[in-house]
Each structure stands twice: as structure tokens, then as C-alpha cells.
Structure 1
Amino acid sequence: MLYLESPAGVGFSYSDDQSFYTSANDVITASDNLAFLEKWFEKYPQYKNRDFYITGESYAGHYVPQLANLIVHSKAKINLKGIAIGNPLLDFNTDFNSRGEYLWSHGLLSDDTYDMFNSKCNYSTIRRQGQARSYTPTCSLVANQASKEIGRFVNAYDVTLDVCLSNVFSQSLVLEQVQDEETKIDVCVEDETIEYLNRKDVQTALNARLVGVNNWTPCSEVLSYDMDNLEVPMTPVLTSLIKSGIRVLVYSGDQDSVLPLTGTRVVVNGLAKQLGLNVTLPYRAWFNGNQVGGWTQVYGDALTFATIRGASHEAPFSQPERSIALLRGFLAGKPLPSANEIAQKPERVIPHL
């Protein structure tokens, strides 16, 4: 498994050419990533004939499909079989406009504020104006009202998790699951990661060094990315990949309000209709162990949508077991387990309301 920091300027990666930081965009990122892979396979030729998959989450909804498409059309000698993208940005308007409905349906917004998103200023417009740092009075009113109602103590990347209250008094949220053991989620993991990766002994062990920055940070302090790229739709790229025989898995942690599943499945369903793909596996629950892992639907033999129940924007953070079960199924090319495949337990009678 390879972990690639991309583009240069994030994490411990850097560019010797300082002008790179002012001109980075999706096209350059895809080209650089392909150059890296080709050099890596030259150095480790024993892996050349192995099946190759690319995965990523969030803005990797741009990075992953574009890299995969470049591999296919450049005829690179890489045995690409499929891609998996989680809570991905695929269509700017659809993805961001789904946030209002998601937040309202989870009780974070009032009816009046939700109505304002639908009638006065939607989330994609607010996001667009925020990037330009120029809000209209109407959109400013809607955004401020939503922020006031949501408050400062909700993690937008997982609306069910607590927030980290202090670096000193680290806390853990315990989610009790009927899986013989408890799963603990450290909601202060970002603060702890920052502290850990800025330790000199850790950097030495990773053979990493800081170039042009004083500290490792979650967000780049030097890179100026072309934010107009966010509005480039990825459905044409996914269409090209599927037509080329590349398998595509799109999955969503269902507690994420930043890029909610409600928008993602609209995009995926639209993509399937555009390609004329029939539903080969109707929408149903899939299982990990004896518990529901999420829901899934398969179109044709190349496009799969799935949710991961109880998972955040970065699904493996809050649901590692369900995430790895999903990815193992995808790599094996097998349908996710159904209720009929799990060990049956005696039914409990639950009164209906």
C-alpha cells in the first residue's frame, strides 16, 4: 500500500521550485502523480504486473478519477483495475446544496433556515462567495443564521461525534457496538497528530524534513491551489473510466455533513442513468459481522454506491472495521455480505409503535 501526499506542498512534501506553489491545479497534480507512479514502478519492477487500485476521500474525488483517467489514456504500464472514492467532491452544486437538507434532517437547522437555503441563498452559492471572500447581504444573513443554530460544538465532518474541548483534557467518545468489544474514537486525534508529527524523532524515523515551513500542519501554509477546479464536474471523468472497464466504488460515511451521502447518491444515480446502466443489485443493507455496515446499490458490473453506517467524512477514522470490510469486498470483486450470509441469532420481539 502506497500513501501519496499530493500535491507538493502538503504534509512533508515540497517543491524545489517555489513558483509551483502559486500555480498548482488538478491537471498538474494528476501529471505529477502519474510521474511518481511510473518512477516508483521503475524502482520496484516486481510490482508492475499486480492489480492496481487507487483510493482516496474528500477532494480525492477529483484527484483519484483524474489520475486514473490519465493512466488509462496515457497507456502507462500500470495494471489499473479500479478506484474507490469516499465522501467525494464530484459535482459542486449537487454536493454542496445537499448540505442544507442533511443538516435540517438531522435536527441541526430550523425549518425557517432550511427554507432560506431553498429560497434565498443555497449552500453552493455561499461556498462560492466564501472562496471569493465576498458575501452578498442575503447570503451572509443565511450563512450567519445557520452558523448560529448549528453552534461551535458540532463536528461538521461527523455530526454525531463530540468535539475536542482541550489539548490537555483529551477525551474519547465510546460507541457501544454489539461486536463483543467497544470501539473508542479519540475526538482529539487531530491535535495529537499535529504534536506527534512535529516531534523531531518522528520526522527522523519517517525520513521526513520540513522545507519552507516551520511546522507540520493539517492544511498547507504555502500552497495556493486553483480553487476554480472545485467546480469542474467529475461525472464525465467517471463516465470515461467506466467505459474503459475500470471499476468504480463511491462510498459515503453517513454522518458527514460536509459532503453528505444525500448529494453523492444523486450524482451516482445520475451517472448510472447517463451510462444506461441497469441496477444489478437493488438498494439493500450490507453487513459486517452481525451488524448492518451500511447500505449499497450496484449498477451494471462497474459502478457501486455504498454507505458506511456511523462513519464520518473520513470513514476509517470512526468506523475502521466497516471501512476495511467494504474495501475488501470491492478488491475481491464480490457483493457486500447480506443478512442471509450472517450467523442468525434468535429474534427479539420489539413492539411496533
Structure 2
Amino acid sequence: MSGRSEKSRISSSRSWAAGLHGSNPSTYSPVCIEPQDGKMEADEIDALPGQPDGVDFDQYAGYVTVDQKAGRALFYYFVESPRNSSSNNPLILWLNGGPGCSSLGYGAMSELGPFRVNSDGQTLFRNDFAWNNVANVIFLESPAGVGFSFSNTSSDYDNAGDTTTAIDTYTFLVNWLERFPQYKSRDFFIAGESYAGHYVPQLASTILYNNENTNQTVINLKGIAVGNGLLDEAITLRGIYDNFWTRALNSDETYKGIHKYCDFANDTASEKCFDFTGQADDEIGDIDIYNIYAPICLDSSLKNGSHGSVHDFDPCTDYYVENYLNIPEVQKALHANQTEWTHCRDYAWTDRPPTILPILKNIIQSGVSVWIYSGDKDGRVPVAATRFSLNVLKLGVKKGWHAWYSEKEVGGYVVEYEGGLALVTVRGAGHLVPSNQPQRALTFISSFLQGTLPPSTP
């Protein structure tokens, strides 16, 4: 990142999405829409192997081609709201980060989806606080190469980046809505976490641009929610090391050395800075940086006859999920290609702006609701980093910092800014908020979808 002031970085921003397609709408080339007749019915899942009894919602999975010439297709898993709930529930697209991590393995199977995987790696149990209680949710594996998503053109994996990911995800959405036309007019929201701090605002910006400049489906975008998201790289580094010290994970000497030798404001670092940040990383020890007070996985072996509970998150969940999604019968039920599924894929990422704040500001000015939420036990993108980043926007406060409640306990804290931005913390949650605090996550996402702040009284 350059040494320009934060003020100039915001004021000199241009529409990121307009830059994708050229500033002149007449040069815009619409995305390709493939025939979708009959594909919704073909994608319906009869039942997932090992799912519990009493499933009262419909679920779908399959591929949507986003580039016919390259043979590039993205895999999705879609869960509708229970059949006896409102037929007008909104539509959410969920995106995990990485870049290169799966929204099926994390979002659907470990966080906000209707099921989680038992420690036997073979069966599922119900998540009572799944987000499909209040919305219809699409989990998208993106970009191509993540999870079951693929391309027949191997160079696509070498050219993945923020720009191509936003374009492909928009292309997916337009085609998916042709496959599920009953959702074309629904209120639409985008949510995600971590590197989705890039994905979500960039997709929202792309949608807003295309809504103005195309005769294709106008997507009814109402709001975006980003959890523990990477918003500004240099500011996030400052927040990480400040958080280490305030959480008693680093020594005073290390903290002082970092602030003496590291110039986060101008994104410059000396050898001394690297020495002290390396020392800070060493001092932390063997903990889960994504949930600093949680136990780590000490026994990843499968355990027959053991059944999980959504109230007690198992730190070895990743191993159970990976085993489950590699069962041939499971892949067949999901209409997925038979492949070796993994949580994340490494990429030589081709483009990533050092800050996403100008895009976020443009979205706020468009009238779309923006919520930034943060689990307060995360060490990777801590609350401090998020607060430092949002302060750059210099927004006026509409409703000051106060506690919000889930059931009869404080669920976290919230501040509402002018223009429709809210910062929400989730007490007792790490980087993957719905994993650690599913009930509190459902409380705040329900409020977000309704356009109100979380409850301020028990």
C-alpha cells in the first residue's frame, strides 16, 4: 500500500465495478445466460447420507457454468426455509474467505448451515440455529478450484484473483436466478467472513453497477454483512498486534518494539519491525489464532457412536467434515463430481487491493445496508482491526455503543453510524462466529434481515 493519507485514499476512489467493465456503459458486455430449464428439479437432493429424521426443508446442490468456453463451473449448496415458514423469506448468498476456502465445508457444515457432522465422520446432526430458519441460503464454492468447483482450463487456477472472482460470482447469480426464477424478486443479501471482506463488497459493487447498465435480471440487493473481514491490510496488522498485547499474548517489550519500528500507517517495515513481529508470533505459543481462548484439536481420529451438539463446538470438526464430504455416496447425493474434496486450495492470487474501504464507502452511499460484525475472541482479524479500519471512514454516530441481547444474556455490542453502517460484536465468538455462538449469530442476522438493530433489552 502506498504512503498516501487515509483521507486521500477514500476521496480519490473510483467505482471498482465500473473499472471491471469500462466506465462507459455502452462498452458493457452482458454475462452469458445458459438455458436452465429443468435444472432446478435435477438439483434437488433426495436426502443426504446420515441426515437426521424430520428434515422439513428442501435442499439442492449442483453446478452452474460461468464460462462455457473455458468449461468453468461453480458448485453450490442451497437450503430453503422450512416448508411451513414464510414463503417470502429473503435470499442470502454466503461466501467464505481464504482466499480459496470452501463455503460448503465451513459455512454450511461447520457454521450456519442446517446440519453439522458428527465425530464419526459419517452422520449429521441438526443445527437448531441455522440461518435457513429466517432465510433461504446459498453456499457457493468460489473461485473455480475450491471444493467441488472446477475449470477445464487449468490456467484459470493460475489467474484467480479478486476481479475474476467477483465477475464469476455475479455470472453465477444471474444464471442461478434463471434456474430458480421464484427468487428473482426476493430481497437479496450477501454475507461472508474473513477474506470475504473483499468478496462481499466487491460482489455488491458489481451487482449495483450491473443493475444500472444491463437489461438482465436486476438483483434486489438490500444489504451486506461481513464477519471478521479483511478490510484494510496495513490497518489490520496494527489491530492484530495491538490485540495480542491487550489480550496478554505478548510482552510489553515486544509491543513497544512493534510500535517503535513498524509504520503501519504508511505500510512500511524495517528489519527491526520484522524481528519484533516475528517475536510476537513466537510468544503466542500453540493456540488457535482464530479463537484464542478455545481448546485446540488434540485427537482428530473419528469416534464411532459419538453425537455432537450445536452448543458445544468440537475443535476437530474440520476432520469430520472432510471425511464426510469425501464419502462417494455423499458426493453422489450432492450431484458433485467424484473428487478429493478439501477445505481450502492455495492460489497464486493475481489481484487484491490493499484496502476495500473505498468500495465499502460507495456501497454505503448507494443506500445498501452494511453490517460489519466481529467475534471478540478472534486473533486473526480482531475487533481492534475492524474498529481501526471503520474509523477511517469518519462516519457520524447515529446510535452510540451499547449492549445487545440474545435470550437473556448480552450477545455483544453495537454502534450504528450515519448512512446505514453498523458494527456489531458477538461476545464469546471467534473468527467463525456462527460456529462458536450459533444462537447469538441467529439473533443478529435475524435483526439484520429485518433492518433493525439487535435487541437492546433481554
Q: TM-score, normalised by structure 1?
A: 0.83
Alignment-derived partner of residue 390 in structure 2: 268
1:207 aligns with 2:335: yes
Alignment-derived partner of residue 51 in structure 1: 187
Alignment-derived partner of residue 132 in structure 1: none
Equivalent residue in structure 1 for 2:295, among 162, 165, 176:
162
Q: 1-side partners of 2:320 and 2:257: how far apart? A: 38
Alignment-derived partner of residue 168 in structure 2: 32
Letter in 1 for 2:341: W
1:300 aligns with 2:421: no
Q: 2-side partners of 1:122 and 1:168: how far apart? A: 44
Alignment-derived partner of residue 348 in structure 1: none
Letter in 2 for 1:194: E
1:278 aligns with 2:381: no
Deviation at 1:183, TM superposition (A): 2.5
Alignment-derived partner of residue 257 in structure 2: 116
RMSD value over aligned CA atoms? 2.3
Provide Cα deviations, 1:151-195, integer angstroms capped at 9, x if missing partner.
12x10001010110121387xxxxxxxxxx992120111122122
Q: 2-side partners of 1:121 and 1:232: how far apart? A: 17
- SS of the aligned residue for 1:4 comes to strand
Provide Cα deviations, 1:33-58, integer angstroms capped at 9, x if missing partner.
00000001112211111100000000
Deviation at 1:122, TM superposition (A): 6.8
Deviation at 1:335, TM superposition (A): 1.9
Provide Cα deviations, 1:321-342, integer angstroms capped at 9, x if missing partner.
1011111001001121113xx2
Alignment-derived partner of residue 94 in structure 2: none
- SS of the aligned residue for 2:400 comes to strand
Q: Choose 137-146 or 155-164, whichever is displaced more.
A: 137-146
Q: 1-side partners of 2:263 and 2:302: how far apart? A: 38
Paired positions, count: 312
CA contact (8 A) 1:254 1:310 kept: yes
1:42 aligns with 2:178: yes
Letter in 2 for 1:145: Q
- SS of the aligned residue for 1:65 comes to helix
Equivalent residue in structure 1 for 2:225, among 84, 94, 115:
84
Counterparts in 2 of 1:119 and 1:318: CA distance versus 1, 3 Å: same
CA contact (8 A) 1:100 1:123 kept: no
Provide Cα deviations, 1:112-141, integer angstroms capped at 9, x if missing partner.
111122123478999x99xxxxxx753553
1:217 aligns with 2:363: no
- SS of the aligned residue for 2:155 comes to helix
Equivalent residue in structure 2 for 1:198, among 326, 339, 346:
326
1:8 aligns with 2:136: no
- SS of the aligned residue for 2:172 comes to helix
1:311 aligns with 2:429: yes
- SS of the aligned residue for 1:248 comes to strand
Alignment-derived partner of residue 335 in structure 1: 453
Q: 2-side partners of 1:50 and 1:288: how far apart? A: 27
Q: TM-score, normalised by structure 2?
A: 0.64
CA contact (8 A) 1:52 1:80 kept: yes
Q: After superposition, where does 1:246-261 map in structure 2 within 5 Å? A: 246-261=368-383
Q: 1-side partners of 2:357 and 2:236: how far apart? A: 12
Alignment-derived partner of residue 80 in structure 2: none
Counterparts in 2 of 1:107 and 1:124: CA distance versus 1, 3 Å: farther
Q: 1-side partners of 2:252 and 2:191: how far apart? A: 37
CA contact (8 A) 1:96 1:124 kept: no
Structure 2: stretches of 5+ with no match in the other structure: 1-136, 212-216, 304-308
Q: 2-side partners of 1:316 and 1:292: how far apart? A: 16
1:95 aligns with 2:236: yes
Structure 1: stretches of 5+ with no match in the other structure: 130-135, 171-180, 343-353
- Taking only the aligned residue pairs, the percentage that are identical comes to 40
Report the structure, 1 or 2, having the larger helix content: 1
CA contact (8 A) 2:235 2:389 kept: yes
Alignment-derived partner of residue 345 in structure 1: none
Provide Cα deviations, 1:1-56, integer angstroms capped at 9, x if missing partner.
11111111111111111110111111111100000000011122111111000000
Q: 2-side partners of 1:311 and 1:125: how far apart? A: 31
- SS of the aligned residue for 2:140 comes to coil
CA contact (8 A) 2:191 2:224 kept: yes
CA contact (8 A) 1:21 1:225 kept: no
Q: 2-side partners of 1:125 and 1:159: how far apart? A: 29
